[in-house]
Amino acid sequence: MRCFYHRDVEAVATCKSCGRGLCPDCAHDVGNGLACVNRCEAEVLALNRIIARNKTAYEKTSGAYNRTALFYAAVGAVFFAGGLANWRGFGWVLVPAGVIFFLSAYVHYSTGRRFRGE
C-alpha cells in the first residue's frame, strides 16, 4: 500500500479515522491510534474518548445486571414462600410467579456474566 498523500512512498500505517495509508511523515501518533498529520488528529482523539467511555459503560452494565438478578431472586423467594404458606387460598398462583422471578434472575445473572467476559 502507498501513502495517500505521497504516492511514491510506501505506507507504514493507516489512519484510525479515515483509513488512508500513511507514510512516516504523514502519520501522527495521538495515543492508541495513528492519524493523518494536521487532518484527522481531532477525530482520532474523539474516537479514543468514545471507546474509553464505552468500555466503562460496558463494565457498569455487568453490575447492573447482577443487581437486577439479586432483586428478582429476592422477589421470587418472597412469592414462592408466600405461595407455599397460603397454598389452600390464593397462594397457588404465587408459586409459579416465584418460579418466573427465579428464571428471570438466572437470565439476568448469566447476561451479567457475559458482559464480564466469563
Q: pLDDT tens digits, residue range 78-104?
A: 999 999 888 777 778 899 999 999 999
Residue 102 located in a structural domain: yes
Residue 36 located in a structural domain: no
Give bridge partners of residue 100 from the DSSP assignment. none
Domain count along the chain:
1
pLDDT at 118: 66
pLDDT at 87: 76
Cβ pair 42, 18 in contact under 8 A: no
117 has pLDDT over 80: no
pLDDT at 69: 96
Residue 40 located in a structural domain: no
Alpha helices in the chain (DSSP H): 41-85, 94-116
The residues near 81 (Cβ < 8 Å, ≥ 6 apart) are: 98
19 has pLDDT over 70: yes
The pTM of the full predicted model, rounded to 2 decimals, is 0.59
Q: pLDDT tens digits, residue range 33-74?
A: 999 999 999 999 999 999 989 888 888 888 899 999 999 999
pLDDT at 93: 86
* Domain interval for residue 67: 58-116
Residue 98 located in a structural domain: yes
The residues near 18 (Cβ < 8 Å, ≥ 6 apart) are: 36, 39, 40, 43
Residue 15 located in a structural domain: no
72, burial (CB in 10 Å: exposed 0-12, middle 13-18, buried 19+): buried
Residue 27 located in a structural domain: no
pLDDT at 86: 85
